[in-house]
Amino acid sequence: MKLQISGSSIELVQGDITRQATDAIVNAANASLAGGGGVDGAIHRAGGPAIMRETRAKHPDGCATGQAVITSGGNLPARHVIHAVGPRYGDGRRGEPALLASAYRRSLEVAAENACRSVAFPSLSTGAYGYPIDEAARVALAAVIDFLRQHAAIELVRFVLFDETAYAAFRRAAAELLPDGWGCKWSHPSCR
């Protein structure tokens, strides 16, 4: 599934983010940048120890929630890893949407600052951090669409969604945010 926004493309795919040959992939990192499970663990396993060494050397104080930092991609097909820290979900009224949007926006800003033209994202904060996937998908897509409408530096943003549940949630959010732009109506079975 692909959409054009101001000369840039947004893609939704189901797959493995560690196999993306984009300029950068985004890691769902924790604030200490100490590695972990889920997407974070998969990226560090696939990319090798060079990513963690560089993270510790360049960012010894970690990264605040809603922010992002960059390292090389180690053994990954991507040249860079952007480590973004999304919020832990409480009740949705403690600034979580703004912090999640900021993590996506800062990732794109960091990508642009480092001449990355293509970026692959996982669904930030929806694993161990407990952000409801339907809410997170709307925040993620809205933040990326807004960024692309204002900046031409990024040519491709690909959401690499691990399973059918996440993929379906992002399709529903896309249909809600841009009902005519995706060629996908609510009556279509894959958008329900």
The catalytic residues are 40
Q: Which long-range contacts does 74-77 make (Cβ < 8 Å, 24+ apart)?
A: 74/47, 74/48, 74/49, 74/50, 75/46, 75/47, 75/48, 75/50, 76/18, 76/25, 76/43, 76/46, 76/47, 77/19, 77/20, 77/21
**CA–CA gap between residue 165 and residue 123 (Å, rounded):** 11
Counting Cα atoms < 13 Å in the Cβ hemisphere of 69 gives: 20
**CA–CA gap between residue 149 and residue 8 (Å, rounded):** 9
**CA–CA gap between residue 181 and residue 58 (Å, rounded):** 40
Return the ∠ at Cα 106 (arms to 134 and 122), rounded to 5°: 40
Residues 6+ apart with CB under 8 A from 142: 101, 177
